[in-house]
């Protein structure tokens, strides 16, 4: 992959400028009032989400997750095309509803569908700039993006499917359990970062408490047939009354998760699901709350609206290890973390050691924490971190091979009677397990921690979970390779052909 982004050639530059002009005109044509445009867009997403949720019986599933993902990215890029300032005052939806027509509804749906396609095309442009795609221009007004030979995307797509499975499993716990389960229990189940981690004047525990409260609040409003529009001050008061947050902390929380059109594209409506209609009113994007991952929200907000990533990454890795240790703790399992060793005159730490006394199986793993990657830049950064982990595992593996196997127990902090008959090596990534171009040696697995921490695997064998992940990943890679096709998106009179 490239070390830095490359410039667009003239044909791509011209196409990029053309679709940006088209996008702005398309959204601007919805209505003359900025607040009404935002109301139309967020309202369409809200009501289609509620309808779909009722059809599915309030059960999260992969089809619903994909549907929501397309809707929210379409909404995000429609909103980011709005450059006019927000009006002042309280937005009154009952007055606007009386003047809107079925034609307005149809136009809004068409805009969201177009913007969903736009998001795919924009991502293709970004992927090209980092060397993940090349392009062809077989005829005028046709641009085809093709996979780089080193990065066909099969592994990326396969783990995306498995990651969605993990997300759906978590979403199932959030739909109604947030109303029923004790707060401390629910927080312990879903938080993958330290409770005390600071973020914009709050700590992680406060953020999660407020997030889960608003998630429940949004679902209740859906069930009660209430509007998705609410005054900002009223929402701040609701958070204050339903959580342990003080008034100024509730205000900080609401500001943190409010979408800003000029902010980084990495902050999506899955992270900032409150959309300003006016300076005093907000639209609640309920699907963003339900399918958003508050762990990821904190990571991204810490980077883009906080002090940066380095401190977070170090603290998160420590806490993440404790989550794995707790998740797979059992009577017949010995777990060690951060075990120091010395090889070739240099020291290092083994992040995770797991030994099953019944089977005599040993796992040696390195854990890599990073923001769950979504953009191409984040994917490349995550691959770099995983490559570091692979190199560390290779070093540890060579060190063990030089030792007499009878001495392993002593060096690894196991009991003298522990004698591993088989050993497995793994690199565990926080929400990502590497792209096709990642150099993974034989005998080393790279797995997604989000999958390992699915609730159904709690206190099961981590070896079985690792094997299941590898099996499912291989199956999805084969499907991705077999089913790889091009699909077309037409924007501004240009046909874009993108790998599926």
User: Over the stretch 183-200, which tens digit does the pLDDT of each residue have?
Assistant: 555 555 556 677 777 788
* CB atoms closer than 10 angstroms to residue 358: 10
What pTM did the predictor assign?
0.78
Residue 177, in any domain of the structure = no
HSE-up (13 A, CA, CB side) for residue 42? 27
302 and 405 assigned to the same domain = no
Residue 166, in any domain of the structure = no
Residue 176 has what pLDDT?
45
305 and 447 assigned to the same domain = no
How many whole angstroms separate alpha carbon 127 and alpha carbon 148? 10
Residue 171, in any domain of the structure = no
Query: pLDDT per residue over 11-41, tens digit each?
Result: 999 999 999 999 999 999 999 999 999 999 9
How many whole angstroms separate alpha carbon 386 and alpha carbon 444? 12
53 and 82 assigned to the same domain = yes
Q: What is the DSSP string of 406-418?
A: GGHHHHHT--TT-
Residue 178 has what pLDDT?
45
133 and 30 assigned to the same domain = yes
Residue 175, in any domain of the structure = no
What CATH number does residue 338 fall under? 3.40.1350
Of the residues 317, 341, 360, which one is the last residue of a structural domain? Answer: 317
1 and 148 assigned to the same domain = yes
In this structure, the dihedral spanned by the alpha carbons of residues 100, 102, 104 and 109, taken in order and rounded to 10 degrees, is: 140
Tell me the residue range of the domain where 431 lies.
Answer: 328-482
How many whole angstroms separate alpha carbon 249 and alpha carbon 299? 19
| Phi, psi values for residue 403, rounded to 5° | -90, 155
How many domains does the chain fold into?
Answer: 3
Of the residues 269, 287, 317, which one is the last residue of a structural domain? Answer: 317
DSSP class of residue 60 equals: -
116 and 263 assigned to the same domain = no
How many whole angstroms separate alpha carbon 364 and alpha carbon 368? 14
The three-point CA angle 32-235-245 to 5° equals 145
Residue 351, in any domain of the structure = yes
Residue 102, in any domain of the structure = yes
Distances (CA, A) of 28 to 40, 112, 164, 323, 413: 12, 13, 34, 47, 65
| Phi, psi values for residue 333, rounded to 5° | -125, 135
What CATH number does residue 292 fall under? 1.10.10
Residue in the block written with tokens 């595992």: 393
281 and 138 assigned to the same domain = no
* CB atoms closer than 10 angstroms to residue 205: 18
391 and 441 assigned to the same domain = yes
**End-to-end CA gap in the chain:** 21
Of the residues 317, 347, 367, which one is the last residue of a structural domain? Answer: 317
Two tokens, residue 165: 């499975």
Residue 276, in any domain of the structure = yes
HSE-up (13 A, CA, CB side) for residue 377? 8
Angle between helices 34-55 and 102-129 (to 10 degrees): 90
301 and 431 assigned to the same domain = no
Q: pLDDT under 70 in the chain at which residues?
A: 1-2, 56-62, 170-192, 306-316, 482-484
124 and 259 assigned to the same domain = no
121 and 227 assigned to the same domain = no
Sheet holding 229-231, edge to edge: 229-231, 281-284, 274-276
| Phi, psi values for residue 222, rounded to 5° | -60, -50
Residue 290 has what pLDDT?
83
304 and 360 assigned to the same domain = no
């Amino acid at each position: 992959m490239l070390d830095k982004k490359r410039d667009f050639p003239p044909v791509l530059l011209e196409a990029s400028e053309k679709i940006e002009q088209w996008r702005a005109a398309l959204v601007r044509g919805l209505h003359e009032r900025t607040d009404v445009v935002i109301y139309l867009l967020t309202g369409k997403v809200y009501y289609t989400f509620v309808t779909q949720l009722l059809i599915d019986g309030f059960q999260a599933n992969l089809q619903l997750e994909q549907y929501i993902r397309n809707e929210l990215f379409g909404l995000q890029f429609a909103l980011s095309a709005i450059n006019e300032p927000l009006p002042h005052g309280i937005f009154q939806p009952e007055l606007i509803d009386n003047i809107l027509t079925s034609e307005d509804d149809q136009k809004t749906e068409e805009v969201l569908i177009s913007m969903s396609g736009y998001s795919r095309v924009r991502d293709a442009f970004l992927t090209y700039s980092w060397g993940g795609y090349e392009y062809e221009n077989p005829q005028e007004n046709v641009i085809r993006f093709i996979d780089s030979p080193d990065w066909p995307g099969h592994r990326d797509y396969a783990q995306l499917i498995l990651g969605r499975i993990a997300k759906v499993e978590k979403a199932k716990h959030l739909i109604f359990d947030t109303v029923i389960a004790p707060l401390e229990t629910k927080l312990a189940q879903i938080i993958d970062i330290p409770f005390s981690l600071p973020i914009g004047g709050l700590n992680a525990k406060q953020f999660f408490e407020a997030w889960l409260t608003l998630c429940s609040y949004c679902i209740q409003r859906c069930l009660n047939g209430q509007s998705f529009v609410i005054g900002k001050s009223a929402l701040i008061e609701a958070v204050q009354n339903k959580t342990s947050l003080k008034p100024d902390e509730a205000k900080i929380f609401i500001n943190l998760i409010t979408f800003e059109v000029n902010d980084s594209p990495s902050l999506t409506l899955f992270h900032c699901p409150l959309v300003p209609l006016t300076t005093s009113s907000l639209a609640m994007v309920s699907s963003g709350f339900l399918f958003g991952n508050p762990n990821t929200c904190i990571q991204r907000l810490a980077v883009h609206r906080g002090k940066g990533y380095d401190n977070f990454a170090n603290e998160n890795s420590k806490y993440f290890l404790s989550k794995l240790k707790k998740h797979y703790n059992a009577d017949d399992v010995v777990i060690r973390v951060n075990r120091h060793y010395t090889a070739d005159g240099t020291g290092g730490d083994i992040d995770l050691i797991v030994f099953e006394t019944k089977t005599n199986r040993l796992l040696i793993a390195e854990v890599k924490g990073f923001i769950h990657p979504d953009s191409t830049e984040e994917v490349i950064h995550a691959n770099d971190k995983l490559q570091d982990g692979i190199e560390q595992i290779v070093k540890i593996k060579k060190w063990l091979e030089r030792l007499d196997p009878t001495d392993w127990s002593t060096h690894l902090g196991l009991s003298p009677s522990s004698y591993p008959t088989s050993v497995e090596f793994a690199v565990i990534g926080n929400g990502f397990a590497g792209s096709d171009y990642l150099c993974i040696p034989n005998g080393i697995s790279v797995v997604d921690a989000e999958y390992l921490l699915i609730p159904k695997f709690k206190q099961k064998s981590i070896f079985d979970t690792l094997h299941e992940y590898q099996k499912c990943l291989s199956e999805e890679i084969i499907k991705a390779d077999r089913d790889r096709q091009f699909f077309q998106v037409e924007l501004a009179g240009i046909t874009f052909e993108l790998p599926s």
